[in-house]
Amino acid sequence: MFRDTFTFTPSTLRSLRLQRELQDLEDERRALYRSPRNRQTAAVSQSVFRESRTLSQLSSDSAVHDALCNGDLDKIRVIFKSKEAVNATIQTVSHELSWSPELGLWSLISKQKQTSALHIAAERGHTACVKHLLGHGADVNAAPGGATALHIACANGHTECAQLLLSIGANPNAISEDGYAPLHLCTSPETFLCAKLLLEHNARVNLQTKDRENTPLHIAAKHGLDKHVDLYLNYCAYSHKKNREGETALNAACSYADKPEAFGRYYKVCKMLINWGANVKTAGKKNHTPLHNACGNGHPDIVELLLLHGASVNAKNSAGYTPMDCILQAVEDYLEQHPERIVVDLLNHGAGPVDPKMLKQCAVSPWTMEALLNTYEVIPLCDSWIESVPLDVWQKHQVFYESIIQMINKPRSLQHLARCALRNYLGTRCHSVIPQLQLPNSSAEFLLLKLEGYIK
């Protein structure tokens, strides 16, 4: 009756059979899934699916980047399970200020950079994450962004990460895209242990950068890193080595010693370099000697050190300036560092006479003014500088400035004229001969231009 009432065509019957077969397969899959063993197999299949999906998103997935930056080891273990995932290139975006000549202003631009999981973890000092990634096949010498993970770990002073990388075969002399070895990137006090590790793993202490041909010693001296400098010198760094501009590490130290809070460190650096044979007369960029640079930075202790070791007090740079010219141009910037100390030292080591026109440079420093005026047998006219003296300075040192005005174009005291005669005779030997003369202390101090606060 049923068959007589509903007529089935051959195609309809085939469709019904296919649906029944599909239903049977689904029933079998569900039955298999109910057993513990097959549930585990299914879970592995889903994990593989998730991993393949993650690999396709690693390059730009912010969640992956955040897990690496935060050192989230649990997430990293889930994401980075295979060698392919560990060594996948990750894209990051950084925002940098860039000068636009067309617009004539600074603008914020976005730059895409390539990195890897190992690089990000090493940069942040996440040692456990670095260990996990290395254990899963991370390429320790890969440089997707132009530098290796060792470069980045050392630059940030992450000693434990650097130790892990070196122990697994990181190249301590790898050269980055910019031409730097890891040792060149040890530029802060926090990187000292990294520098020590690199040298213990055969880093080349005299390796030069590609751009300016600086050695690690140049760079450490530039940053005033006294412990680094001592370390490098004990590993046979060349104190006389010159960079592309003809500068030694001593030139670099004197050139960058411009922050009073770091004067102590730079002084130690200069002293060590000189003790290890650095030449105090070597002229570098624009024919600046270390003495030119130390004077220009207002560092009295380094100036004294250089002079005691034979620096040329009257050497001229490519602009024709002597060290005395350099300190007089910087007086106003280093008033608290007592620029008069430098001026007196230069004069006692034979610095030549100062053009009266230069007196305007030290109008705000009465002590410096006094030292210079005591080299003249007659006080010159003060029209060129007297109006430059600030009112508060004048009021504080009124006795001094009035004593100058009273002595203009008048004969100086016989005592002063005798001082000038003796100093002219001794020349560059004033600093060494006068202390050896059997004179009362007050007389010796007078000859060495002790400052008194007035002119006579």
| DSSP result, 67-85 | HHHTT-HHHHHHH--SHHH
Q: Which residues contact 153 (CB under 8 A, 6 or more apart)?
A: 122, 123, 125, 161, 162, 165, 194
| CA separation for the pair 167, 223 (Å, rounded) | 29
| CA separation for the pair 297, 266 (Å, rounded) | 12
Average pLDDT, stretch 394-412? 91
Per-residue model confidence as pLDDT tens digits over 98-121: 776 766 777 667 677 889 999 999
Average pLDDT, stretch 382-403? 91
Average pLDDT, stretch 268-292? 96
Please report, rounded to a whole number, the percentage of residues in the chain having pLDDT higher than 90: 70
3-state secondary structure of 377: coil
Q: How many CB atoms lie within 10 A of CB 180?
A: 22
Average pLDDT, stretch 403-427? 93
Per-residue confidence band for 32, with pLDDT thresholds at 50, 70 and 90: very low
Residue 54 tokens read as 């993650």
| Run of H or E residues at 5 | helix 2-5
pTM of the model: 0.83
| Residue 376 reports pLDDT greater than 70 | yes
For residues 354 and 372, is the Cβ–Cβ distance under 8 A?
yes
Give the model's pLDDT for residue 37.
46
Q: How far is CA 226 from CA 88, 218, 231, 277, 379, in A?
A: 40, 12, 9, 16, 45
Average pLDDT, stretch 16-45? 50
Per-residue model confidence as pLDDT tens digits over 186-221: 999 999 999 999 999 999 999 999 999 999 999 999
Average pLDDT, stretch 139-156? 96
More confident residue, 50 or 441: 441
DSSP assignment letter at 39: H
Give the model's pLDDT for residue 63.
82
| Residue 313 reports pLDDT greater than 90 | yes
DSSP assignment letter at 339: H
The bridge status of strand 90-100 relative to strand 105-115 is antiparallel
What sign results for the dihedral spanned by CA atoms 167, 169, 171, 176? negative
Give the model's pLDDT for residue 60.
62
| Residue 16 reports pLDDT greater than 50 | yes
Q: How far is CA 138 from CA 71, 133, 149, 210, in A?
A: 16, 6, 10, 28
Residue 44 tokens read as 């592995």
| Run of H or E residues at 254 | helix 249-256
For residues 39 and 80, is the Cβ–Cβ distance under 8 A?
no
DSSP assignment letter at 209: P
Give the model's pLDDT for residue 112.
76
Per-residue confidence band for 382, with pLDDT thresholds at 50, 70 and 90: confident
Average pLDDT, the chain: 87
Average pLDDT, stretch 128-148? 95
Residue 217: closest CA among 176, 276, 159: 276
More confident residue, 21 or 156: 156
Per-residue model confidence as pLDDT tens digits over 52-71: 445 555 666 778 888 899 99
Per-residue confidence band for 326, with pLDDT thresholds at 50, 70 and 90: very high
| CA separation for the pair 423, 437 (Å, rounded) | 13
